[in-house]
Structure 1
Amino acid sequence: MPESRLARQIATAVRHQRELHQLTQQALADLAGLSQGAVARIERGDRLPSLPVVERLFAALGRQLRVAVEPLDTHLDAALDALAERSLIERIEELGLDRMLDALGDLPYVLTGSSAALLQGAPLPVDAVEVAVRWCDSARLTGWLEEAYGQRWNARWEEWGGRRLEPEEPGEHRWRTRYGELRARMCDELPEPVEVRHGGRSYPVEPLARVEVADPGAADLLRRHRQRLALSWAGGETRAGCETRAGSAG
Structure 2
Amino acid sequence: MSSTRLVKLLGAEVRHQRQLRELSQRQLAALAEVSQAAVARFERGERAPTIPVLERLLAAMDVQLVIGVEPLDAHLDARIDELAARPIAKRIDELGLDELLDQLADFPQVITGTTAALLQGAPVPVDALEIALRWRDSKPFTRWLETNYGQRWNARWGEFGGVWLEPEEPGEHRWSTWYGEIRATMCDELPETIEVRHGGRSYPVVPLVELELSEPRAAELLRRYRDRQLAGGG
| Cα deviation code 1:192-211 (max 9, x no counterpart) | 01000000000000001111
Range 112-121 or range 213-222, more displaced = 213-222
2:165 alignment partner, SS class: coil
- Which residue number corresponds to residue 123 of structure 2? 123
Once the two structures are TM-superposed, the CA of residue 224 in structure 1 deviates from its matched residue by 1.6
- Which residue number corresponds to residue 76 of structure 1? 76
- Which residue number corresponds to residue 60 of structure 1? none
Cα RMSD of the aligned pairs, angstroms, is 1.7
- Which residue number corresponds to residue 162 of structure 1? 162
Measure the CA separation in 1 of the matches of 2:154 and 2:127: 17
Measure the CA separation in 2 of the matches of 1:165 and 1:171: 10
TM-score relative to the length of structure 2: 0.68
- Which residue number corresponds to residue 107 of structure 1? 107
Residues 1-250 of structure 1: pairs in structure 2 closer than 5 A: 72-233=72-233
1:131 alignment partner, SS class: strand
Supply the AA of the counterpart residue of 1:215: E
- Structure with larger Rg: 1
Measure the CA separation in 2 of the matches of 1:190 and 1:103: 19
2:233 alignment partner, SS class: helix
Measure the CA separation in 1 of the matches of 2:174 and 2:71: 22
* Count of paired positions: 166
Measure the CA separation in 2 of the matches of 1:71 and 1:90: 30
Once the two structures are TM-superposed, the CA of residue 77 in structure 1 deviates from its matched residue by 1.4
Measure the CA separation in 1 of the matches of 2:137 and 2:74: 42
Supply the AA of the counterpart residue of 1:227: D
Once the two structures are TM-superposed, the CA of residue 73 in structure 1 deviates from its matched residue by 4.5
Measure the CA separation in 1 of the matches of 2:94 and 2:71: 22
Once the two structures are TM-superposed, the CA of residue 215 in structure 1 deviates from its matched residue by 1.4
Measure the CA separation in 2 of the matches of 1:226 and 1:136: 37
Query: Measured at CA, do residues 73 and 154 of structure 1 come closer, stay the same or move farther in structure 2, by a change above 3 Å?
Result: closer
| Cα deviation code 1:144-192 (max 9, x no counterpart) | 1111110111011111111111100000001111111111000001000
- Which residue number corresponds to residue 48 of structure 2? none
Give structure 2 stretches of 5+ with no counterpart: 2-69
Once the two structures are TM-superposed, the CA of residue 107 in structure 1 deviates from its matched residue by 1.2
1:156 alignment partner, SS class: coil
Supply the AA of the counterpart residue of 2:139: A
Measure the CA separation in 2 of the matches of 1:73 and 1:148: 34
Identity %: 66
TM-score relative to the length of structure 1: 0.64
Query: Measured at CA, do residues 71 and 217 of structure 1 come closer, stay the same or move farther in structure 2, by a change above 3 Å?
Result: farther
Structure 1 moving runs of 4+ over 3 Å: none
| Cα deviation code 1:122-158 (max 9, x no counterpart) | 0110000000000011111111111111011101111
1:101 alignment partner, SS class: helix
